[in-house]
Amino acid sequence: MISIIGSGKIGSNVAVHLALKGFDDLTLIDVIQGLPQGEAMDIQHMLSAYGIDLEVRGSNDYKDIEGSSLVIVAAGFGRKPGQTRLDLMNSNAGIIKEVCEQVKKHAPDSILLMVTNPLDVMTYIAYRVTGFPRERVFGMSGTLDGSRLRHFVAKELGVSVSSVTPMIIGEHGENMLPLASYTTVGGIPLSKLVDKAKFQELVTKTRGVAAEVIAKKGATIHGPAAAVTVLVDAILNDRKALLNASALLNGEYGYRDIVMDVPVIIGKKGVEKIVELELTQEEKAELQKSYDTLRDAISKLNIELPKRG
């Protein structure tokens, strides 16, 4: 069973994507009375129309996530026009702490996939609160950011998005770091196909497009849901897929006790390996900005986190 905590725009859309893939039965959880039940009924009817036999249920009780192999957390406040992801930090920190305490209690053997922003910090909170090994707590960040970079690169070069393999590391936010030498088009490094000025244009578009979507329609929904689905597919089908996700670093890239977006191997155990890339001095300096921003953010959290050994 897969449980989704948070039945708002993103959580419910994640449920639709996963249901249509036919992965497993779904449980939707939310604190709003009636919301998860109504979403579950609506999705169940959709599946019936398509002839897909899955059970979808909604609940306001965390105990109903018992037995979940995978828990997806999309609870909390979303960005509003003009907000950065980090602006949400202390609004969502207490919510995520409470959610993760319930996950620890009712689904202690699950893999925990985080969606709530600011994603790197919320994933760090989840790691500290649950006590789960780092392999079982990660965020969907780079899979989403990569899909946006992929779109812009394909459009710029006039190629299919299927030809583009993106690579982004660092903060899921203003300091995200797309890498030209590791983003490839048909196996050719992007750095060989566009000049530095054009690549910087692509970086700027990738960093800013979520805010543009939010300004136009109020929230990003379909892109995040698709990114979650890609990760869930890699987990449930043990694909050993090299993807990007926010994971806890334990010496990789020279950092410890911080969550950032890095390339990882995703399989049935979750994050089965963190892949370290050889970076230039300029790229290392840019990555340091992500670390400094996230470390400063964590120091300003308005909640107390349990210590981990």
**Cβ atoms of 107 and 67 closer than 8 Å:** yes
Rounded distance between C-alpha atoms, residue 145 and residue 179, angstroms: 12
Which helix (H) or strand (E) element contains residue 13?
helix 9-21
Encoding tokens for residue 161? 């998005």
Q: Which residue positions form the known binding site?
A: 6-11, 30, 79, 85, 92, 115-117, 148
Domains of the chain (ranges; CATH) run 2-141 (3.40.50.720), 142-299 (3.90.110.10)
Average pLDDT over every residue of 73-88:
79
Taking the C-alpha atoms of residue 271 and residue 95, their distance in angstroms, rounded to an integer, is: 24
Q: Is 106 a residue of the active site?
A: no
User: Quick one: DSSP state of residue 301?
Assistant: -
- Answering whether pTM is above 0.85, one says yes
Residues of the binding site for substrate = 79, 85, 117, 148
Dump pLDDT digits (tens) for 212-258: 999 999 989 999 999 999 999 999 999 999 999 999 999 999 999 99
User: Of the residues 17, 106, 151, 172, which is catalytic?
Assistant: 172
> pLDDT (tens digit, 9 = 90+) per residue, 3-43?
999 999 999 999 999 999 999 999 999 999 999 999 999 99
Give the CA-trace dihedral at 176, 142, 187, 162, to 10 degrees: -120
- Report pLDDT digits (tens) over 140-170: 999 999 999 999 999 999 999 999 999 999 9
